[in-house]
A and B are shown apart, each in its own frame.
Chain A
Amino acid sequence: MSARIGVVVFPGTNCEHDTVLAFERVGAAASLVWHTDERLDGFDALVLPGGFAHGDYLRPGAIARFSPVMGAVARFAAGGGPVLGICNGFQVLTEAGLLPGALVKNRGLRFVCAPARVRVDSDRSVLTARIEPGTELQIPVNHYSGSYVCDARTLAELRDAGRVVLRYVENPNGSVDDIAGITSPEGNVVGLMPHPERASDALVGSADGLPLLRAMVAAAAAVRAA
């Protein structure tokens, strides 16, 4: 039976259907989870997709982190469950304290929607497991507040522990140390600004996101088997 992936929807989320479609393309069973749900039984992995939860008013993710579902997401993560935050989902995870640092306005003060070359820098996460570090992928970015910041000590920790999982080859937003994605110490919670679901079909530009999605599904399947 295929791995079951819950895709969390806040009011204002807009990439939920794309995320479901992309995970179905790699053989998972994906379904939507409404932000007021407090039980996440039966899911093997959770994804917080992109969009503008609560209109991104105040700060991206600042209001979504108080949604009832977030307590359950935190418990799921604490139990070792794979959790992926894409773009706005990454912003929610940092606001909720499930990942360190924050995402601030792009260096150019403009929204940027463009293909980005990223490099896998660590395979120690549910998103990058078994992908050769150094592999370059073309995955679109689509954000206004995608510039990753954190203090020096956090940055040192992330680097030393191999928790920077993706770096931009050409930095589109001013992120510190070209960071495009990071993971938790255990590797089960991952946030990234690029949209792997938008790189899941060569017909619309790139299929480079598929290895990442497959790694996530493999991690979910492992949870299921355990």
Chain B
Amino acid sequence: MRYAARVEVRLRPGIADPEGATIERALPALGFDDVREVRAGRSFRFEVDAEDEDGARRRAEELAHRLLANPVIEDSDVEVREAAPAGGSR
């Protein structure tokens, strides 16, 4: 089976996030004075072949921990679902 994975990587709480802070500072001028706690991050999408969803999640988590996130400064979340059939949206 082929699964679509999405990994979100963001700085851990307590690590300065100048990008998030800069965005947050700009918000009041745009009328978003009710928004707090902006954190910048990045997300990665890929497909993985696995026996089942749990297996796909384990591979995706492994990839996130080994490469996509630096655990010294970053946390990651992994989402996995069945991939759309071949030729589907990218």
Residues of A within 8 A of B (CB): 58-59, 62-63, 66, 94-95, 100-102, 104-109, 147, 149-150, 174
Contacts and interface: CB of A to CB of B under 8 A. Distances in A.
Given A59-B70, A62-B67, A105 B15 contact: no
Contacts of A62: 67, 70
Contact of B16 (A63, A95, A174): A174
B18 interface: yes
Contact of A149 (B16, B67, B68): B16
Given A58-B67, A62-B67, A109-B22, A102 B16 contact: no
Contacts of A149: 15-16, 72-73
Prevailing SS type, chain A contact patch: loop
Contacts of A108: 18
- The main secondary structure of chain B at its interface with chain A is mixed
B5 interface: no
B42 to A, nearest CB: 9
A104 B68 contact: no
B68 A107 contact: no
Contacts of A174: 16, 18
A146 to B, nearest CB: 12
A105 B19 contact: yes
A95 B67 CA distance: 10
Looking at A95, A100, A105, A108, which has the most chain B CB atoms within 10 Å of its CB?
A105
B70 A102 contact: yes
B72 A101 contact: yes
Given A104-B16, A107-B16, A149-B16, A95 B70 contact: yes
A150 B18 contact: no
B11 interface: yes
Give the most central of A95, A102, A147: most B CB within 10 Å. Answer: A102
A102 B73 contact: yes
A60 to B, nearest CB: 10
21 contacts: A58-B67, A58-B68, A59-B70, A62-B67, A62-B70, A63-B67, A66-B67, A101-B72, A102-B70, A102-B72, A102-B73, A104-B11, A104-B16, A104-B73, A107-B16, A108-B18, A109-B22, A149-B15, A149-B16, A149-B72, A174-B18
